[in-house]
Amino acid sequence: MKTTFFKKISIAFTSLVAVVVVNIPSIVPALAQGVRPGTDDCPAGSFCLPNPLKFNNIWELLQGMSTLAVRFGTIVAVLAFIYAGYLYVAAVGNETKLKKAHETLKYVAVGTAIILSSTIVVNLVVETLSRINNG
């Protein structure tokens, strides 16, 4: 059991390293460009880097990550609904398969509700924390 856990961890770490290595060619030119000194964005006599994330603070980053998660989750939810529908059609009157299809549909519906309500929760937390931070 421990070997499968460590195997999963090593696969996840290897995948992360592979993603970083693959993206280096796109990151380096952006870092090399920078913002030129003497412009409005960068004071004279210094070298500044552009913000590659397009977020100005941690709150905007959290909202952006939430939006991305909802978009990805919506795609997964649609595929899961299709799968649940397939299970209903494939059940063909078999009570055991029909029960499994019904439970799958129930779990997909609950998961979709959680995914869609996550944006509301994140926005509520971000708004509260930014108000506390700003006084």
* Residues 40-98 pLDDT 10s: 566 666 667 767 777 777 778 888 888 888 999 999 999 999 999 999 999 988 999 99
118 plus 132 within the same structural domain: yes
* Domain enclosing residue 78, as ranges: 54-135
Please tell me whether residues 37 and 67 are part of one structural domain. no
pLDDT (tens digit per residue) in 94-115: 999 999 999 999 999 999 999 8
Which helix (H) or strand (E) segment is 36 a member of? none
Q: On the CB side of 20, how many CA atoms lie within 13 Å of its CA?
A: 6
64 lies in the same domain as 122: yes
Q: How many domains does the chain have?
A: 2
> Do 59 and 31 share a structural domain?
no
pLDDT value at residue 52: 74
Sign of CA dihedral 69, 74, 77, 79: negative
Q: What is the pLDDT of residue 15?
A: 75
Q: Are residues 65 and 115 in the same domain?
A: yes
Q: Say if pTM beats, i.e. exceeds, 0.75.
A: no
Least Cα distance to 52 among 31, 82, 75 occurs for: 31
Residues 30, 64, single domain; the answer is no
Residues 62 and 114 reside in one and the same domain = yes
Residue 54 dihedral angles phi and psi, to the nearest 5°: 65, 20
Token code pair at residue 57: 């603070």
Nearest to 60 by CA among 130, 132, 133: 130
